[in-house]
Amino acid sequence: MAAPTGSAAPVAPALCGHLALLLLLAAPAAHGYSFPQQHTMQYWARRLEQEIDGVMRIFGGVQQLRGIYNENRNLFEVKENVPRKLVEKVAGDIESLLAKKVRALKRLANAAEKFQKAHHWQDNIREEDIEYYDSKADTEYDDPDGEEIEREKSNSLKLEFTDDANFKTKVNYSYAAVQIPTDIYKGSTVILNELNWTQALEDVFIENRKEDPSLLWQVFGSATGVTRYYPATPWRAPNKIDLYDVRRRPWYIQGASSPKDMVIIVDVSGSVSGLTLKLMKTSVYEMLDTLSDDDYVNVASFNEKAKPVSCFKHLVQANIRNKKVFKEDVQGMVAKGTTDYKAGFEYAFDQLQNSNITRANCNKMIMMFTDGGEDRVQDVFEKYNWPNKTVRVFTFSVGQHNYDVTPLQWMACANKGYYFEIPSIGAIRINTQEYLDVLGRPMVLAGNRAKQVQWTNVYQDALGLGLVVTGTLPVFNLTEDSSDRKNQLILGVMGIDVALNDIKRLTPRYNLGANGYVFAIDLNGYVLLHPNLQPQIINFREPVTLDFLDAELEDENKEEIRRSMIDGNDGQRFIKTLIKSLDEQYIDEVFRTYTWAPIKSTNYSLGLVLPPYSTYYIQANLSDQILQVKYFEYLLPNSFESEGHVFIAPREYCKDLDLSDNNTEFLENFIALMEKVTPDSKQCDNFLLHNLILDTGITQQLVERVWKDQDLNTYSLLAVFAATDGGITRVFPNKAADDWEEEPEPFNASFYRRSLDNKGYIFKPPYQDAGYRGLDLENNTIGILVSTAVELSIGGKTLKPAVVGVKLDLEAWAEKFKVLASNRTDRDQLGARQCDPSTSCEMDCEANNKDLICVLIDDGGFLVLSNQEDHWYQVGKFFSEVDANLMSALYNNSFYARKESYDFQSVCAPEAQSNTGAAPRGVFVPTVADLLNLAWWTSAAAWSLFQQFLYGLTYSSWFQTEEVAGDSMEARETSCIMKQTQYYFSTVNATYNAIIDCGNCSRLFHAQRLANTNLLFVVADKPLCSQCESVKLLQAEVRAPPRDPNQCELVDRPRYRKGPHICFDYNATEDTSDCGRGASFAPSLGVLLSLQLLLLYSSASRHPLPPAACL
């Protein structure tokens, strides 16, 4: 009977297969033994079940613990979690928190507009006329050779800073700080005037903090690139050149313009070669970074024909994964053929006119990168865009050439766009982000209607607060010209940060139980709050965008819940769903109640997930202070020898309690504090403290009544334990605590959470990955955890306040397992049975362990026990690593089902980039005549070269002549996608016999579920030869292959989302006459001279410079 190989679905065996199996089972082997009959193996299974149940009844103490709770009924109340009321309250609390920040935000934005309007422009302003704290004045940078670079002279204020717990850094509350991007000359007239008028914001910052001391960073990001933030703190910069620019931060981009539908078209004709092509690739890379998840984009290359650079055939959401695909595929562009602007623009307009797809439906624009051309393609614009001009056209002249740029300027000016020049890499960042000023015009002209506070996606704060969301508000230029025409420039964006931890503090935690939780999502379906939101990389320049359906295991019910939340509805649903265990090794099928409601005045929606057994919870009421003291004494280390070791969950029981990762130290801190305060103190969380002390007393009574009277060695137990919702884990005897490796916080312990969700006894072997050599049995005693939940029924209310269990001695229980799965009775002696060909008897797991493999495998497919001594070193490994052939048969015969999913929050070492495209021709180095010519130093070329130098530090390949991919940004760890595979029991029958068909290497096996456990009992022939190959099932997490999951397919099935409900993309009074330039700020002679000398040195030595980290 051949086992199926491609599916987990059972296959009905053919009649001949049945006959073959019966004959094989009945026929004795050459040595007189036959494969055990099914009834024999079922008998063994019952013996194993009885032994496990007997030990757990004696030592687990489930019944006794129920009695203890009932006896102490006067010491606690059973409270109810009412999901709708909880959601309503938490949503209201979050709304109130954010409303306070909004008031401060509006006050700042109004003040900024007033200050700027009252400001008088000064042409002759000097840097020494401005008093401010330059946040980078005290920042030290290292040059490529590790030597400190001499700092530029600064007139910055000298401030003193003090440590602040709220900001997790040193701050000064009397001043604001200023950050200016390194590639912007801070001595320019524009910057100095900006510094002059924004100085008045400091008083508003300070007043805001007086009204709301909980305010975190208050920030004004200017359209000129200047950032003024409060309170002052030194800038957190990398050890290399700092290229942070507020205009490229997610919160600024979201606040500065309405959503965008963008088509980028790139000229790849034969004239675009070498350095120009590389400039274009990098420009597209940087342009993509100006887009957020509210935007949609596609990228195409064109010569005689236009074609998309990637597999995306239409506009797709500009999320991290899609942008990554574009960035990778842009590097494959090759220059050839002739230029046909018509082909490029027709492709772009067709893309923007496609109404059968999800898109932003607001600002529409075409960004064209080219080295120049003569055709104006007026007929295309007449056909697609005139007279309404609903699509803006932005043109970019790339590279240094002598082409006539008039046609490019005309295209932009005739279509409400802008013309930019990118002569060198230094001009890329500025000129690929300033189109936002043009898109901001309709917002400014709309006035107060556009003053809409928006809340961002989650992202990493650049100043070290961790995960934050930011409320943003655009700031408009309210000045008028001599003709009384309104100014249409955006001044910048005002932002106020809210740390996710501050929002989490408003949510319930411990009354929801170990498996209950609160989550929140935005209009994109991205989680704002979720226990699985745990990004592994910090200071990542992209927002943290984890979809709710990626944070959990996706199913139809959750899709519908997500849609309802995005639509702003409230609701409740009881569902059956799959969840991953905390250690991500197991899958459990569970029941959950999802309840949700919108958070008013925001784009967020709040959800609550509650298991049935968490509808009720215990609230201790220890009013008897004598009893408090008595129970508290069982927490003292001097009681551990007689009462067992106590681990307490590291929770914030009191404000002054010092947390520690070392539980012994944390316990000492806790005891020291309790000697000063009472459990009823106002500075303490009375709910947490009373429950902790109650559970200390209850678990101590379990020791007295059950554990102390039993001899653990008789049953080969290393330890017994109890863990509770209140935060107590008691391990007996005390010496067993030395080898206790579980989390002291029960809510973070996988065994605890799985025991609550599963009936019966849950076995947990020590996990070993595929590459682990094996357990050291000679020097260590290895334990297997067996746990079960304690279910109480009090007044008809069911709850599970604790988990109890035992720790089995692996070696001793492996021997016991062999005996239980044998034909020997207690009176028999090993080896007493004699079989010969004439008598024939069945093999068993003890006497025939050289011919018969007997194993216990848990519900995740991990080895728990075996009759093979060489397997003992592999306990805890995925069974396919032990016997790939047998594990495949179990899977193919539907004992196991498989679930594959992706972790989008992982961190990986960077992969080597392929070398594609044209290499640079080298860096331009001026001649001696140029160096001696003062006019050259003050020219745009010199400033461009300075910018080129700075970007050369970021894109180190620009200083090398060999081919290097244009997007080799960083040589450090980057975010990546990991593929996870978990196995779990399917709903197959409890017992099964089959043949692993492989000719002369065929094997018989029997598999049976052990009742009331998470174990599968498997008996199989030992493989006779190694010729029977089978696919080795993989369980270990691996890095997802390129394009897995397949983004090209996913974009054709986009998940439901909603964009912002308002759009400002048109205003009849907009003045479009300002539509093109190529200049930048004037350079500083001193700065340029020193940097040019360093550039000369770098170019001469061809020393590759390390890339700068992106913040």
Model confidence pLDDT, tens digit, residues 260-289: 999 999 999 999 988 999 999 999 999 999
Cα 761 from chain centroid (whole Å): 33
145, 202, 412, 417, 1070 from 1073: Cα distances, Å: 49, 36, 10, 10, 9
> Is residue 170 classed exposed, middle or buried when 0-12, 13-18 and 19+ CB atoms within 10 A define those classes?
middle
pLDDT score for 841: 81
In the 8-state DSSP scheme, what is residue 876?
T
- The answer to whether the CB of 540 falls within 8 A of the CB of 976 is no
Q: Tell me phi and psi for residue 465, to 5 degrees.
A: -75, -15
User: What is the amino acid identity at position 1007?
Assistant: A
44, 694, 801 from 68: Cα distances, Å: 35, 11, 12
Report residue 843 as tokens: 């093999």
Report which of 781, 654, 525, 655 is spatially closest to residue 165, judged by C-alpha positions.
Answer: 655
User: What is the amino acid identity at position 709?
Assistant: D
The list of the chain residues with pLDDT below 50 reads 1-30, 141-142, 144, 147-150, 827, 830-832, 914-945, 947-948, 950-971, 1078-1111
pLDDT score for 916: 41
**For residue 454, what are the contacts with CB-CB under 8 A and spacing of at least 6?**
254, 255, 471, 472, 473, 603, 1060
Separation between Cα atoms, residue 741 and residue 750, nearest integer Å: 12
Q: How many residues belong to the chain?
A: 1111
Report which of 180, 457, 412, 433 is spatially closest to residue 285, judged by C-alpha positions.
Answer: 433
Q: Tell me phi and psi for residue 887, to 5 degrees.
A: -65, -40
263, 315, 371, 916 from 368: Cα distances, Å: 9, 16, 10, 22
Helix, strand, coil percentages in the chain from 3-state DSSP, rounded to 5:
35, 25, 45
Give pTM, 2 decimals: 0.87
Q: Please report how the helices 810-820 and 38-55 are oriented relative to each other, as an axis angle in degrees rounded to 10.
A: 140
- The answer to whether the CB of 722 falls within 8 A of the CB of 774 is no
- The answer to whether the CB of 417 falls within 8 A of the CB of 406 is no
Beta bridge partners of 59: none
**For residue 730, what are the contacts with CB-CB under 8 A and spacing of at least 6?**
643, 644, 645, 646, 647, 699, 700, 702, 703, 721, 722, 723
Question: Is-cis flag, bond preceding 407, omega within 30?
Answer: no
Any idea what the Cα angle at residue 512 is, between residues 508 and 518, rounded to 5°? 55
Separation between Cα atoms, residue 494 and residue 880, nearest integer Å: 56
Pairing of strands 490-499, 717-724: unpaired
Beta bridge partners of 865: 856
Report which of 14, 162, 204, 308 is spatially closest to residue 997, judged by C-alpha positions.
Answer: 14
Separation between Cα atoms, residue 202 and residue 213, nearest integer Å: 15
pLDDT score for 671: 94
Within a 10 A sphere around the Cβ of 330, how many other Cβ atoms?
25
Separation between Cα atoms, residue 557 and residue 451, nearest integer Å: 37
pLDDT score for 776: 55
User: What is the amino acid identity at position 537?
Assistant: I
224, 572, 579, 612 from 576: Cα distances, Å: 53, 14, 10, 11
- The answer to whether the CB of 191 falls within 8 A of the CB of 185 is yes
Report which of 160, 142, 173, 169 is spatially closest to residue 236, judged by C-alpha positions.
Answer: 169
Separation between Cα atoms, residue 464 and residue 165, nearest integer Å: 12
- The answer to whether the CB of 1098 falls within 8 A of the CB of 1105 is yes
